[in-house]
Structure 1
Amino acid sequence: METGIFMPTVISIKDKKKTIKGEIIRAAIFARGNVIEVNTEDSERFYFIYYKNTLIYGNKLDKVEEGSFIDKAFYEGIVIKSPHPLLTPLTPNSSITIPNKNKLFSQLQIHYSLEEMAYIATTLDSFFEKEQIITIIDKVYFHFRRNGSFMKSFQVIQILSDFSPTLKSAQERMNLQEFNKYRDLYQSSNLPSILKTDPLFVELQCFKDRINPEKQLLLKDILREQDGLAELLLWLENVEKNQKVHAIEKYTTIALRLVSMEEWMQILVQAQINPFRELSDSKRIIEKMIQTGNYENAALSLLNFISDLPTCYDEILRKVWENSDSRFVIGHLEEFISLMKQLPDGENPSKLEQRVSQIVVILLEKHGLVSVHEKLLPFQKLLPNSEVIRKIDKMLTLIEDPDRMMELGDYYADFKQFDKAIDCFFWEMELQPQNPSPVWKISKMYQYKGMVKEAAAYQKIYAQLQSSQELG
């Protein structure tokens, strides 16, 4: 179901001396890294890599290569698609300045540890040649080895081996005798034991295999020390997959640091979580939406859970039905029919007729009579005495009868379908060229359409025909 309360996340990209406007169309979290995909006004695609929510690098890409970090992030990571309010906290700044590519790695050394820099380099394989990245990681490896930091050099060679599994030199170094005890440590120890020594390795392993319950628990503990966004997204992913809601109060507290309560309710709706069952404050929020005229946003929260709502929501449902724009109702026709079934007996028949008439007018603009009739069948069961539906049924019987085009045209005119009415009256005018009645009706239709010259022309023809009849 669409979530109309969400707005696209707009961003500006500063590249050298020009600024490019764009919208974030999706983002992916992959452990400590984030990837943002932006579609610009010129339909170009830019991709940006973040590490711990800080921009590392990004630029325009014509194609994302299979097996690259960006490809892996969108395939294996936690993905959020636009429009979604959590895209905003994923991009701390609404304006991005593309870093100087030539100075990038020297800048990374200032802000990150060398082990982190080695890993960050592997996330940039869409923007740098693979050999250049391998060279950077090799330099870090040999730096640690020369200084006798064998544990760190082993950790770096693991990063290189994971980045390029077919690289023979990396495999050979992984098997060096001086690394035996470190290799044995990683193979024999559990992840919690490795966590203090190599938190990056553990976080990556847990994230890649987060479907594993033990690794997921450890990952939650790791993420708890961060800003809460990744932990929240992990929780939402788990709930969407398993449809089991737990710790809602805790994650509501985290969410409300990032988004409004209205947005949080919509996020839950998108995850197929019933906010009216899980959030004690949800009814008050919906009532506030109604008071401020946000009927459609209220509807987007309510419609998926109509059958689970208590009777205390009946008045809210009635207001949503009466005040939502008819085009919006048509876009969610099945859900609104379910809503109508929930409404108590004794609804105002004239208001119901007025709403059904509005719906029919819009449906006739885009669909033929047969299709409109089919779409109204559920309403027919709910409103067996509806005059509007009776008219549609009648029109269906007239559509193949050339002798009753005037009658069909009158019905089309009732529903403000003036062009279709004109077609019917033209047919009748051709069959009875001396009859002034269809000509007069055509003139009226053009008046309703605001086509003054055409209306006057047919008014003149009508007057001539009328005069001829009187003389005859």
Structure 2
Amino acid sequence: MSSDPFYIYGNSQKPIQVRAERIALYLGAGIIEAWNKKHEVYYVFFYKHDFLTAAKAKKLRRHSFIESAFKQGMVFDAPHPFINVLLSTNHPCRITRLDPLLKKLDKRYTPQEKAFILTFFESFISKKRLFHEIKSIFYVYRRNGQNLMAYQIVQILMDFAPNHDLVRQLRSDLNFKAYADMYQSQSDQILAKDLIFAEKRFYSKKENDHFFQQLMTLLNEQSRWIDMIGLYVGKLIKTPSEKYYDPLIKLLDKHLNEQQTMQILENLCRQSPHYIPLKQDLLKKYIKLNKLENVLNMVDPSDFNLDASQTEPIREMLEQLDLETRTLTSEQLQSLFKIVIDFHPKKAADLIHSYISTLLKTNDPVFVRELLKPFIEHRAVRPVYSKVDRLITFSDDLDQMQVLGELYYEFSQPEQAIECFSWEMELKPDDPTPLKWLSKVYHEMGMKQESKAYKQLLTNLQKRA
């Protein structure tokens, strides 16, 4: 499924139309990969859900932050609610040059956050220039005697340019030894003071439930619900459990609309198809959003525990269903029959008869009979199955044209009924029955002249009798 197009605004007056392909969530960054019609790729950057800038990619540097984001981060293919939410709340998306971007970062973020964010862009901006900007932040802290904050910047430089001479020198600088030891031991004090470092540590060990919960606490304190949803989804794919599922549902209900929640649950269900609470909630969403085809695609809705508030909308959908406007597969049609039998037993016979009448307009009776065959033992299906079977049996039997015509009439196929009654009239010219039917059918079709003509023939026949 293709995502909706959106626009990136560059230096030229004409906006660039692109389509999102995927999004990566990684250590606070959200990065949307999008392509234009010329097959050029653009990346749209966010930090903690807020838009930063967009950039056109020529080549991504190896071991860069953006490469790590799409390899080690949480990646979701478009279309996806995360993409829609970020784009809709951060419009318009503009390509910003470095100097205006630096001013923007100075206004919105701490110097440490600014240094970290700058590492996102080494595939788009000179690494030398980025290093200079981060180094400048370090020197400001060191001149002010803020050694812990200075060492926080060193930590960022160690990830960004570990082999740079200055970074090697600072790593072994005795002035920072106490802080280096604290980072090495990953003390609680450091984790409380350096949240960027803490998030890296918790994320790298998120498979461990203790660190996962610490990561979730940190994200919750920063109101980063998109990242939290992504992490819960990842956990559920590997370990389906109410421990992760219940808080996920609460987040979805709080932050996303019904359609967006349905998309998240659908994506999750494709990867964790046997987790029953998930399937139950997804089915309820389909019912609430009147998604009949999706309901039919569920393995067997009657296996789920549905209360009256869910079963009543199903019955309404079944009564309002018009098969002429929908294209359903054989499997979906058989699911439809099953649902009618299970959820609407009082009207099952009438509804199935109505569905079959519609199907016979465009399908061979043999095909329709095969659809019904698995349900032949059900009281609601047996009569209509028998009639379809007789349609097939009598189709070439000239002695049964009257019966065949009445069956076609019952299944709302007047043209075929007329053809059968016409044959019957020729085969039995003294029988008034086919004339009565021909007059009746033409009248109901609005063909008054033809109806009167057969009525007159019937009158004449009765006078001669």
20, 24, 31: which is aligned to 2:20? 24
Q: Structure 2 CA distance, aligned partners of 1:150 and 1:72?
A: 29
Deviation of 1:134 after TM superposition, in Å, equals 2.2
Normalised by the length of structure 1, the TM-score is 0.65
Residue aligned with 2:53, SS: strand
Q: Is the 8 A contact 1:49 1:124 kept in 2?
A: no
Q: Structure 2 CA distance, aligned partners of 1:213 and 1:63?
A: 37
Decide whether aligned partners of structure 1 residues 316 and 256 sit closer, same or farther in structure 2, where only a CA change above 3 A counts: closer
1:14 equivalent in alignment to 2:9: yes
Residue aligned with 2:15, SS: strand
Letter in 2 for 1:258: H
Deviation of 1:202 after TM superposition, in Å, equals 0.3
Residue in 2 aligned with 1:200? 196
Deviation of 1:43 after TM superposition, in Å, equals 4.6
Q: Structure 1 CA distance, aligned partners of 2:319 and 2:191?
A: 58
Q: Structure 2 CA distance, aligned partners of 1:29 and 1:170?
A: 28
Decide whether aligned partners of structure 1 residues 319 and 40 sit closer, same or farther in structure 2, where only a CA change above 3 A counts: farther
CA offsets, 1:337-392, max 9 Å, x none? 4454353368756754664686698899xxxxxxx97x996654346975899799
1:381 equivalent in alignment to 2:378: no
Letter in 2 for 1:182: Y
Q: Structure 1 CA distance, aligned partners of 2:66 and 2:386?
A: 58
CA offsets, 1:58-86, max 9 Å, x none? 12224544433222212222223222333
Residue aligned with 2:151, SS: helix
Residue in 2 aligned with 1:174? 171
1:230 equivalent in alignment to 2:227: yes
Gaps (5+ residues) in structure 1? 365-371, 395-415, 417-472
CA offsets, 1:86-144, max 9 Å, x none? 33323322421222334322442343222222111111122112222222222222333
Letter in 2 for 1:254: L
Letter in 1 for 2:149: K
Q: Structure 2 CA distance, aligned partners of 1:53 and 1:35?
A: 10
Residue aligned with 1:18, SS: coil
Decide whether aligned partners of structure 1 residues 14 and 320 sit closer, same or farther in structure 2, where only a CA change above 3 A counts: same
Letter in 1 for 2:228: E
Number of matched pairs: 379
Deviation of 1:329 after TM superposition, in Å, equals 7.1
134, 137, 140: which is aligned to 1:143? 140
Residue aligned with 1:224, SS: helix
Q: Is the 8 A contact 2:18 2:34 kept in 1?
A: yes
Residue aligned with 2:241, SS: coil
Residue aligned with 1:34, SS: strand
Deviation of 1:222 after TM superposition, in Å, equals 0.4
Gaps (5+ residues) in structure 2? 270-274, 377-381, 394-412, 414-465
Residue aligned with 1:246, SS: helix
Q: Structure 2 CA distance, aligned partners of 1:333 and 1:168?
A: 68
1:130 equivalent in alignment to 2:123: no
Residue aligned with 2:121, SS: coil
**Worse-matched range after superposition: 167-176 or 335-344:** 335-344
1:213 equivalent in alignment to 2:209: yes
Q: Is the 8 A contact 2:115 2:156 kept in 1?
A: yes
Letter in 2 for 1:237: G
Q: Structure 1 CA distance, aligned partners of 2:156 and 2:328?
A: 50
105, 110, 127: which is aligned to 1:108? 105
Q: Is the 8 A contact 2:148 2:179 kept in 1?
A: yes
Letter in 2 for 1:261: E
Q: Structure 2 CA distance, aligned partners of 1:340 and 1:131?
A: 67
Q: Is the 8 A contact 2:61 2:122 kept in 1?
A: no
Q: Is the 8 A contact 2:18 2:37 kept in 1?
A: yes
Q: Is the 8 A contact 2:22 2:33 kept in 1?
A: yes
Decide whether aligned partners of structure 1 residues 39 and 349 sit closer, same or farther in structure 2, where only a CA change above 3 A counts: farther
Q: Structure 1 CA distance, aligned partners of 2:329 and 2:60?
A: 36
Q: Structure 1 CA distance, aligned partners of 2:248 and 2:350?
A: 45
Q: Is the 8 A contact 1:296 1:328 kept in 2?
A: no
CA offsets, 1:196-241, max 9 Å, x none? 2211110122123322212111111101112233223322322233
Deviation of 1:185 after TM superposition, in Å, equals 0.8
Q: Structure 2 CA distance, aligned partners of 1:27 and 1:36?
A: 4
**Worse-matched range after superposition: 106-115 or 179-188:** 106-115
Decide whether aligned partners of structure 1 residues 131 and 314 sit closer, same or farther in structure 2, where only a CA change above 3 A counts: same
Residue in 2 aligned with 1:95? 92
Deviation of 1:319 after TM superposition, in Å, equals 5.3
Residue in 2 aligned with 1:260? 257
**Worse-matched range after superposition: 67-76 or 325-334:** 325-334
Superposition RMSD on alpha carbons, in Å?
Answer: 4.3
**Worse-matched range after superposition: 174-183 or 378-387:** 378-387
Q: Is the 8 A contact 1:38 1:45 kept in 2?
A: yes
Letter in 1 for 2:374: K
Decide whether aligned partners of structure 1 residues 94 and 357 sit closer, same or farther in structure 2, where only a CA change above 3 A counts: farther
Residue in 2 aligned with 1:299? 295
Decide whether aligned partners of structure 1 residues 115 and 378 sit closer, same or farther in structure 2, where only a CA change above 3 A counts: same
Normalised by the length of structure 2, the TM-score is 0.66
